[in-house]
Amino acid sequence: MADPTLRVVFIEDFENPILDGLNLKYRRIGPLRVIFCLECLRGLQPGGSGTHLTKDHGKDYSELSRSGVIAVIYDLHLSTEDQIRAFSSGLVGSVVPALDFVDVIAGWKCIYCNLIFGSEGNMKNHRSSCKPAEGPIIPLKNVPRVPCQTILTGKGKSFFEVIPKEAAAAIDNQIQILKEIQVQQSIAADVQAQATPQPRGSIELVGATSAEETWN
Ligand SMILES: [Zn+2]
Ligand SMILES: [Zn+2]
């Protein structure tokens, strides 16, 4: 099994008084826009935030104006379940720093196709249908266990491999250093550019604004 490619996904958290007051967090993860419940530590189905609050938390948010909350959520243009699943599937074979607001669990990783499963039952079912013509079915005890996460639970569930927080923090530091080096280089390039004028915008600072970065 080849080592997975480390991918760093651009993440941005947004303050929103109404959502924050309901213990929800709106954030962008790469191309996705998702609302997380900070009490359950999971992403919510688009359109399901209101139901989640009333059904799972018995919250009466009428005092905050139900229609106001719905309007706020509507304006965020949240990613659909399919978009979230497609994004997660796109991470097969990669590993990303663990996301906040979501539990990390020990999943099972198929050595043939790299798919990640969050439950033993699902891995068992998968094993029999996924193997090379000549290959053996891997005994469950030999299936690698990997830390993984899913943004949505339930129907839209799709697991991806993560590296735990502490390791992710070290990578964050590395990226910070790389960004600083790039800034210094761009300043140096600007100084040079005074001698030989170049069009602005030819120097790109990767990371600050790009939706996604790949790190090998
Ligand atoms: Zn919740
Ligand atoms: Zn497989």
Classify residue 112: in a domain, yes or no: yes
Q: Look at residue 191 and tell me if it is in a domain.
A: no
pLDDT at 121: 92
pLDDT of residue 33: 96
Q: Find the 192 Cα to ligand 1 centroid distance in Å.
A: 54
Q: Has residue 78 been placed in a domain?
A: yes
Segment 206-210 shows an average pLDDT of 39
Please tell me the distance between residue 55's alpha carbon and the centre of ligand 1 in angstroms.
Answer: 9
Give me the number of domains the chain comprises: 2
pLDDT at 213 exceeding the cut of 70: no
User: Cβ(149)–Cβ(117) under 8 Å?
Assistant: no
Residue 127 Cα to ligand 2 midpoint, Å, equals 6
**Predicted model pTM:** 0.74
Ligand nearest, relative to CA of residue 24: 1
Tokens of 61: 């948010």
Report which listed range, 45-54, 158-167, 173-182, is most confident: 158-167
Residues 44 and 108 in one domain: no
Provide the residues around ligand 1 (an ion) whose CB is within 5 A: 37, 39-40
Using only the alpha carbons of the chain, give its radius of gyration.
Answer: 21
24 CA from centroid of ligand 1 (Å): 8
Partner residues linked to 115 by β-bridges: none
Q: Calculate the alpha carbon distances from 119 to 43, 105, 124, 145, 208 in Å.
A: 19, 10, 9, 11, 36
Per residue in 140-155, pLDDT (tens digit) is 999 999 999 999 987 7
Tell me: do 25 and 54 sit in the same domain: yes
Same domain, yes or no: 47 and 104: no
Q: Does the residue 190 lie in any domain?
A: no
Q: Which residues constitute the domain of residue 112? A: 91-165
For 74-90, the pLDDT digits (tens) are: 889 999 999 999 999 99
pLDDT at 60 over 70: yes
Average pLDDT, the chain: 82
Q: Domain check: are 42 and 80 in the same one?
A: yes
Whether 172 maps to a domain, the answer reads: no
Backbone angles phi, psi at 42, to 5 degrees: -155, 155
Predicted local confidence at residue 5, as pLDDT: 87
Å from CA of 39 to ligand 1 middle: 5
Residues 39-45, mean pLDDT to the nearest whole number: 91
Ligand nearest to the CA of 45: 1
d(CA 128, ligand 2 centre) in Å: 9
Interval between CA 113 and ligand 2 midpoint (Å): 4
Ligand that lies nearest to the alpha carbon of residue 55, given by its number in the listed order: 1
Is 97 found in the same domain as 78? no
Give the number of whichever ligand sits closest to the CA of residue 39: 1
If you average pLDDT over residues 87-100, what whole number do you get?
92
Q: Of 86, 108, 127, which residue constitutes the final position of a domain?
A: 86
Domain boundary among 144, 165, 186: 165
Taking the centre of ligand 2 as the mean of its atom positions, its distance from the CA of residue 201, in whole angstroms, is 44
Pick from 5-19, 59-73, 138-152: least confident: 59-73
Residue 129 and residue 73 in one domain: no
88 C-alpha to ligand 1 centroid (Å): 21
Give the other-Cβ count within 10 Å of 134's Cβ.
Answer: 5
Ligand nearest to the CA of 112: 2
Q: Which of 68 and 108 is assigned the larger pLDDT?
A: 108
Q: Are residues 79 and 117 in the same domain?
A: no
